[in-house]
Structure 1
Amino acid sequence: MRVPDLGTGDPAGPGDVVERVAHARAAARRETFDRLAHEFTETRCAALDGLLVTDPEVRTTRLRWLATGPVEASPAAVKAEVAKLEFLRALGADSLDLSVLPAERRRFLATVGRRLTAQARERRDPQRRYPILLTLLAQSATDVLDEVVQLFDQAISARESKAERKMRDALAERGKAGEDRQALLDDLLTILTDTGIPDDQIGGLIRGERIGWPRLRSAVAQAAPRLPRDHGHLAALDGSYGYLRQFTPQVLDTVRFGGGTVATDLLAAVEILRELNATGARRVPDDAPTGFVPTRWRGYLDTAAKSGNTSAYRHYWELCTLLALRDGLHTGDVFVPGSRRYSDPAAYLLTPNKWADQRAEFCRLVGKPTDPARALADATDELGAALGELEEVLAAGDGPVRLDDDGDLVISPLTAEDVPAEATALKAELTEMLPFAPIVSLLIELDKRTGYLDCFTHAGAKQTRTPELKRNLIAVVISNSTNLGLTRMADACGISYDVLAWTAEWYVREETLRAANLAIIDYHGKLPLTPVFGTGTLSSSDGQRFPTRGKSVTARALSRYFANEGLSTYTHVTDQHTTYGTKIIVATKREAHYVLDEILGNATDIPIAEHATDTHGVTLVNFGLFDLLGLQLSPRIRDLGKITLYRTGSRAQVQAEFPHTGPLLTRKLNTDLIAEHYDDLLRLAGSLKFGHATASLLVGKLSASGRQNALAAALKEYGALRRTIYAARYLADPTYRRKISRQLNKGESLHALKRDLLYAHEGTVRARHLEHV
């Protein structure tokens, strides 16, 4: 947007600066309105004003109704979000094009609009009110569409999980019921395999004294039909057919799906199902596609078709269609036009033209050749060197990493590090010397040194800061970090709840929290003691789970960790004990999808070059992407001796060169696939490096993709190569293993601190929406 000329004269006084800032803000408001003036027709303005009026149908303003998210993935919640989507489309929100405004301006208008009360929005003059409302409307169209698809996904997945548990219970009962039949089989085999019993006496022994007719008849009565290939999973899900029918027709009628050639049959099936729902027809057409149905479920359709049971066929075909649609959304084979979270995967990548301009710069930044032959040759040399180091260790045969008599890899755990007695005594002495510091005093002192409280700026760009603002901010920060909540904090500190709530609403948000953390990180990096802990180039990430109370679409049930439900935080910390990123994630989601997010989105000056995780942060996709981005992924993998290792040459060639290590390399890499898609792999990494896409979105889709996705398959092959190189080096160097373990322990120490700090309500998170956590 245009910036007014403020002149280049003498230095201005405080009054002049304030006046110029006010003039610039007024000019920005006029410019915003002028660029959107074509949207502000009489009808559109009336509709925007209507958003601020209490609607009897929803018993609140439509704007508040749109902003109130669901708290559970139920049929009622899905239909409520579908109703919002239909309302927005009736206003034309899905077709609004606000690209005439910079993204930062749109973000600012939406931030202000969400925090203003209905009365405050209504009091704003039209030049300010209508751009704010229009931005909120356009953003709501995307957000609600994403919410509908996410709830659809979550509700189907929850029912599938319930069906899987039901199937396992049925299998367990079947196993118990079959114990008598198994005992009978054992007795029969004993008789049949006894060569001392003549053939003409076997029948008499079975029907007579050794087993007897009653036992045989009982076994026949207990006979159970043979299980289908999926052990009854889809049959168990059929019990939820009526539940799913409460909302799936509305979703299919409202949301439009797209996809590539891989999803052709599936999309055709979705259209047929949409037509069946619209007409009320029950019979699935004979030519309805079934090519997308997995082999393990085809038997259900074949059996229903042969028996002429059209109702059963409709159930199973519809369930297969819905599950395949859900899976297609996960992999990216199916996308939703207009969505942000489920958009076309091609939109996440740099266009070929832009990539051609940025390829050389990207390869220079990450140190990768543009020629696939050279890249593979370099990687092959690395693999040979790493295998050579491991060969020396295995040839010795007496170290912590060795081969047993059967040729299996044995990896002994690292011994505990010895802490000198002098260090223990010094630690105790220093602990005694440390004074007790109330957390408020600590935060005040920290602000004097870092100025982090100045990073909490007003969402509406308000410049005036009252003398009490820092006091209020400290109270809000303490209430959030200790899980105390604003109500109890108001009772404890004497500051009214309204003041704390207003401060939290307008000053405490993700971008200001990140800015405050950056100020602290910058100060910490300049302390003389900081380099003692590490270079700052190594970091690690790990998840920590917290229980939740109440319904929330973010919380999930995990009986291993929670009595009811909970969520996870995923935190990144450097070897200098600097926390540079934390994200709230769904507890059942793979942590590996989020490893790269904070590293690539790192706004600090921390030069991360190597990153450690535990097993949960590891996938072949991550191994490949880390290397393509010029980074080293260094995980501590559980059961490392059991993972598949790869070779580039023939089995005989590798075993001849590496007699001890060669037999461990059980699979051969598809280097031709890597070479064929090498430029696409670089473009994928470049899209992440230059901020064109979010890593967690791409990693999740690529990890879920099957063999049909050639790019994902090539990336996994490349990741298998990088994982083999890493595993060989990791196993050959105990010092390296200890370094990774030491770094992961720093993350565990941070988890212990958070558990102690989040003490209120027994550490149970009570926020019902992700943005409030």
Structure 2
Amino acid sequence: IRRDLRLPESTRAVYASSRTAERHRNMIRARSEVVYDPAGARKLAADAIEEAAGRKNDPADLINIALERLVEGSYELPAFRTLNDLATTIRARVNENVFAIVLARIGELGISRLERLLVVGAGGKSEFNQLKRSARRPSWSNFRAQLEHLRWVDGLGDARVWWQGVPPSKIADFAGEAASADTAVMGHYRPAKRVALVAALVFSAQAKARDDTAEMFCRRVGTLTKRSRDELEELKQRHREITERLVDNYRSVLERIDPDGPAAIQERAALHAARDAVAAAGGFAAQYSDIDTVTAHHGDNHVPLVARHFRNDRAAMLAMAGALGLRATSADHSVLDLLAHVREHAGLTRDYIPDYILVTDEVGNPLLDDLGAPRTTVFDTGFASENWNKAIRDRRHPGMFVRRHLEACVLTYLAEELRTGDVAVEGAQSYANWADQLISVQRCAQLLPAFCGEVGLPVTARGFREALQAKLAAQCAATDAGYPDNSDLVIDEAGRPSLKQYRASRPTDTALALEAALRERMPERTLLGVLARTAHWLEWHRRFGPASGSDPKLADSFFRYVIATFCYGSNMGPAQTSRHIAGVSAHELSATARRHVTVDKLNKAIADIVNAFMELDLIRVWGDGSVVAADGTQVDTFIDNLLAETSIRYGGTGGIGYYYISDTYIALFSKFIPVGVWEAVYLIQGLLEQQSKVTPSTVHTDTQGQALPVYALAHLFGFELMPRVRNWRELNFYRPSAQARYRHIDALFGEPGRNVIDWDLIENHYQDLMRVVLSVAEGKISSATLLRRLSTYSRRNNFYKAFREVGRVIRTIQLLRFMSDPQLRRRTTAETNKVESYNRFSAWCRFGNAGVIADNDPEEQEKILKFSTLLTNAVIFHTTLDMMTVIRELIAEGWTITAEDLAVLSPYLTSRIQRFGVYATDELALTPDPFDARLALNLATAS
């Protein structure tokens, strides 16, 4: 109104009459259809906060829930202070009740034990820090140390009993608050809260210790198995000389006994001559020995070599099996049965142990058969491969196992079943029985209609099957019909497709001139100044604060949060930053990042920048946010941790920074993941966890970003996964039915009758599929945890088989689309190229310490990567604003600028940004002018 009346910005709206003000309020309420009932609104808000405080702890979350409930009830919103006071008071009361229950379960002795954890010893350290311990790299000695840590943390008490009935999210909030504090900070809490927070940290530490131990065990098994494979290759190289000698000897023998050979002689003389030839080669014993040496490892059978490499680890691994609390997740527990048998005989020195177990009654007395002999049950080894079944038995000892080989076999398959989820760890998180975390069938039925309506899926199993079947049949028919006109695609007689290489068009001269003008006119900026101005504009720094949810008590929180973001986002670290920036110490920076910043808070700050970025006019020529591309890049770290590995694909040692880049060039999300895990495992997680208003529907990635279960899960969540697959020609194409035949593309599907989708499997397991998807949507289980179990073949897991079958349908459809649509291929290439460009730009911003993350804690590594994403996004936002300013200047000077020319531009510009030099903090105190998101230009869609 003030602007329409052309009044000064300082003009304030003031009513001369209170009656007029009240009348206007009533008119606005009537027009907005809201109810003015302060008492009713307060009660509704209090009830909503009371209910939510049982599972959430952040005051901001509680206030947001109250606001949602008030909006649903069409109430006029109370003042923020009213809601804040309600959230603070009710949360404190609910938490006090939780603390009282937990402390009563712990008991006086347990409370005393937890209090002693906070006592600082003579060396300046306390056992409290031991609860925050991160697992080290999976070496022989560290594996034993991890077992000792597991025993120690379990000895503090059964935290699962203490916290029984308390929602996991609530426990995680308490544990996070304790983890961010040191003993001095913990000493400031009231006794009840202090003990409860320590107990929550114990709960978290016990689960983490189990996950870390299981992960380290799996990694150790993988390392030892690889050593046996490497040894096999060395043996093959070493035996090549022996093999050549044996062949020469055999040739000599053949020449002596061949009647048509050059040395043909009488039969009796031939026999003597053959024996002489063998003797000349070293004798029969030596020849047999050479033959045994070579044949023992012929083919790719490394199995006989595994046991020797397990020798040093076997005791710790068997002890681990007893400490973890393993249980089968299906009716098949043959691996665990044999594990118990192996552990029972672990202390023996004999080479052979029985392959059976005595059948006993309920009290342990052996049962007898009709002949009076003890009844026995032979162990099931059907889970093992043919090579392993040969290795664990010896024909000379029927009814017995070769103990050492059996131990290696059982431990190898135990690691495999932990990875697939066929064996779970009680009390763990990542290695828990994920099927137990799924929502109930009844809850699934309640949520299904609304979810299917949101993502566009049929509600019934039959409808889901028919929709998929029709979609696959239609795409196959369309690709076949379009083949004669598709000059880019050639399918040879063997069914192998090939596509002509696409050559990118050169930018126009006007686009190149515009790009050059931008580079010349862009203003000089510093990284610190960019962060300060974006923080002033967007207030992303307000996402940070103490873990307790209270307001920060820092003298200048803006200054501290911006400097901390620069410190960790640039990867300079606290020590180097404090040397170059006056007014802040290394300890202050470290404490700020540890106590005031979490991964979730960083995600929200990143989303703040993304949301503001999407309001800028210029980005409309780059995209609309409906497309995202995901890819990983190597990030070096310290190596003494469980996440760091040497990457064959990228080179170097560390982890993978996995980024989700919008078609508008900005990062929606980032995740730090292990090198050894298929990147596709984390693809869906980032799409669901990113907190911006951008809702991408199409996802591009490379070969690492795709797998059959991932295609399925993406489809079920309404995402269209369209990867750039390196070996797409070798993949199977699946027919919609055994009778389906095609005039031009039939060779793609192989022989008739093969590679046909099992539609009955999909229909029969529709409820299982939707239970899994809805459980992920409800936050009951992480999609990454799920896909880590589904990414490895499990012979028992029907969930895997159902996801795989749906994935076959979707992948076939997408491959056919990829072959048929050149525009889609160009877009896929362009979007995946954006991620690669972002990776380079992000690494440029993360210049400190040569790009190496100098921390061994995976959680801190994740935070540093998020800080880097926050800094990089701030630079992208600010650079885009500067580009718009220059473009407006060029337009004012008479330049003709088209949307097509703007589409060629990229905000990944570095020439005008200073990373080094004097880091002056003057810019932090300057409040910048408001930014202009508009661009006076007709931005019609660019090609």
Name the TM-score, length of structure 2 as normaliser.
Answer: 0.74
How far does residue 632 in structure 1 lie from its aligned partner after superposition? 0.9
**Aligned-partner Cα distance in 2 for 1:374–1:464:** 54
Letter in 2 for 1:47: R
Name the stretch that deviates more: 406-415 or 44-53. Answer: 406-415
1:17-62 CA distances to partner (integer Å, 9 max, x unpaired)? 9987775665455334334352253222212212122568x99422
Q: Measure how far apart 1:621 and its partner are.
A: 0.7
CA distance in 2, matches of 1:497, 1:406: 65
TM-score (norm 1): 0.89
2:868 aligned partner: none
Range with bigger deviation, 85-94 or 25-34: 25-34
Matched, 1:200 2:260: yes
How far residue 183 of structure 1 moved from its aligned partner, in angstroms, is: 8.5
Deviation larger for 220-229 or 235-244: 220-229
Amino acid at match of 1:462: S
The separation in 2 between residues aligned to 1:740 and 1:374, in whole angstroms, is 31
CA distance in 1, matches of 2:126, 2:790: 41
Distance 2:780 2:85 in 1: 38
Cα displacement (A) at 1:659: 5.3
- Who is 1:479 aligned against? 567
| 1:542 to 2:631 alignment | yes
- CA gap of 1:185–1:470, structure 2 versus 1, over 3 A, is farther
Q: Corresponding residue for 1:42? A: 108
Question: Is 2:703–2:726's contact at 8 Å kept on the other side of the alignment?
Answer: yes
Find the partner of 2:593 among 504, 508, 513: 504
Please point out which of 85, 90, 101 is paired with 2:155.
90
Deviates further, 332-341 or 344-353: 344-353
Query: 1:444 aligned to 2:535?
Result: no
Alignment of 1:523-672 (within 5 A): 523-559=612-648, 561-563=650-652, 565-650=653-738, 653-655=740-742, 667-672=755-760
Residue pairs, 1:291-440, within 5 angstroms? 291-303=382-394, 305-306=395-396, 313-396=402-485, 399-404=487-492, 407-440=495-528
Give SS of 1:600's match: helix
Confirm or deny: 8 A CA contact 1:537 1:610 kept in the other structure.
yes
Q: Which residue does the alignment assign to 1:681?
A: 769
Say which SS state the counterpart of residue 416 (structure 1) adopts.
Answer: coil
Q: Of 38, 42, 52, which aligns to 2:118?
A: 52
- Looking at structure 1, the residues matched to 550 and 166 of structure 2 have their Cα atoms a distance apart, in angstroms, of 21
CA distance in 2, matches of 1:35, 1:395: 74
Partner of 1:706, secondary structure, is coil
Q: Gaps (5+ residues) in structure 2?
A: 1-48, 54-58, 64-74, 358-378, 862-943
Q: What SS does structure 1 have at the residue aligned with 2:341?
A: helix
Q: Which residue of 2 aligns with 1:693?
A: 781
The 1-side partners of 2:460 and 2:612 are apart by 42
Contact 1:156 1:244 in 2 (8 A): no
Distance in 1 (CA, whole Å) between partners of 2:86 and 2:312 is 61
CA deviation after TM superposition for structure 1 residue 286, in Å:
3.0
- 5+ residue gaps, structure 1, are 193-197
Shift, 1:739, TM fit: 0.9
Residue aligned with 1:552, SS: coil
| Structure 2 residue identity aligned to 1:441 | G
CA distance in 1, matches of 2:674, 2:788: 13
Tell whether 2:236 aligns with 1:236. no
Superposed counterparts of 1:172-211, under 5 Å: 172-175=237-240, 178=243, 200-201=260-261, 203-204=263-264
For the pair 1:713 / 2:801, whether they are aligned, the reply is: yes
**Mapped contact 1:547–1:562 kept (Cα < 8 A):** no
Q: In structure 2, how many angstroms separate the alpha carbons of the residues matched to 1:167 and 1:581?
A: 43
Question: Kindly tell me: are residues 639 and 185 of structure 1, through their superposed partners in 2, closer, same or farther at Cα, counting changes over 3 Å?
Answer: farther
Q: Which of 455-464 and 226-235 deviates more?
A: 226-235
Are the equivalent residues in 1 in contact too, given 2:606–2:668 (CA < 8 A)?
yes
Q: Whole-Å Cα distance in 2 between the matches of residues 530 and 499 of structure 1?
A: 38
Query: 2-side partners of 1:370 and 1:186: how far apart?
Result: 72
Write out aligned runs for 1:66-85 (5 A): 66-85=131-150
Which residue among 821, 824, 827 is the counterpart of 1:733?
A: 821
* Counterpart-to-counterpart distance in 1, 2:350 and 2:107: 43
What is the distance in 1 between the residues matched to 2:745 and 2:245?
Answer: 52
Shift in alpha-carbon separation, 1:169–1:758, aligned structure 2, 3 A:
farther
C-alpha deviation, 1:12, in angstroms:
8.0
CA distance in 2, matches of 1:443, 1:363: 41
**Letter in structure 1 aligned against 2:551:** Q
Identity, in percent, stands at 20
Instruction: Measure, in 2, the Cα distance between the counterparts of 1:82 and 1:659.
Output: 57
- Alpha-carbon displacement from aligned partner over 1:301-334 (angstroms, at most 9, x marks no partner): 233x526898x81110001110111111111111
Q: Secondary structure at the match of 2:551?
A: coil
For the residue of structure 1 that corresponds to 2:396, the secondary structure is helix
Partner of 1:159: 224
Compared CA separation, residues 760 and 95, structure 1 to 2 (3 A): closer
1:132 partner amino acid: L
Cα distance change on mapping 1:582 and 1:179 into 2, 3 Å: farther
Alpha carbons of 1:424 and 1:169: their partners in 2 closer, same or farther (altered >3 Å)?
A: farther
- Per-residue displacement from partner, 1:657-706 (whole Å, max 9, x unpaired)? 86565658852222222222122122222222232211111111112133
Between 506-515 and 273-282, report the one with greater CA deviation: 273-282
Paired amino acid for 2:845: L
CA contact (8 A) 2:356 2:399 kept: no
**Aligned-partner Cα distance in 2 for 1:714–1:13:** 49
Structure 1 residues 488-534: Cα deviation after superposition (integer angstroms, max 9, x where no partner): 11111122112212212222221221111111011111111222211
2:623 maps to a residue whose letter is G
Distance, in Å, in 1 between the alignment partners of 2:251 and 2:443 is 70
Q: Which amino acid aligns with 2:197?
A: I
What is the CA–CA distance in structure 2 between the aligned matches of 1:449 and 1:133, rounded to whole Å? 39
Q: How many angstroms apart in 1 are the aligned matches of 2:503 and 2:279? A: 58
Q: 1:280 to 1:421 in 2, by over 3 A?
A: same
Q: 1:262 to 1:613 in 2, by over 3 A?
A: farther
**C-alpha displacement of 1:266:** 1.0
1:141 aligns with 2:206: yes
RMSD between aligned residues:
3.6
Partner of 2:234: 169
Q: Distance in 1 between matches of 2:405 and 2:188?
A: 56
Cα distance, 1:10 vs. partner? 13
Output the CA distance in 2 between the equivalents of 1:167 and 1:287: 32
CA change 1:18–1:355 in 2 (3 A) is: closer
Task: Quote the residue 1:195 is aligned against.
Answer: none
What residue is the counterpart of 2:811 in the other structure? 723
d(CA) in 2 for partners of 1:594 and 1:90? 34
SS at match of 2:345: helix
Range with greater deviation from structure 2 (216-225 or 619-628): 216-225
* CA–CA separation in structure 2 for the residues paired with 1:662 and 1:323: 36
Q: Which moved more, 1:120-129 or 1:244-253?
A: 120-129
1:395-421 Cα offsets, whole Å, 9 max, x none, are 34x722112465532222221232112
The equivalent residue for 1:277 is 346
Count of residues in Structure 1 that have an aligned counterpart in Structure 2: 759
- For residues 849 and 432 of structure 2, the distance between their equivalents in structure 1, rounded to whole angstroms, comes to 39
SS of residue matched to 1:535: coil
Structure 1, residues 213-261: CA drift from partner, whole Å, max 9, x if none?
6999499686443245773422332222222124113212212211144
1:278 Cα deviation after fit: 6.5
CA shift, 1:460, in A, is 2.5
- Does the 8 A contact of 1:611 with 1:633 survive in 2? yes
Alpha-carbon distance in structure 2 between the residues aligned to 1:402 and 1:688 = 41
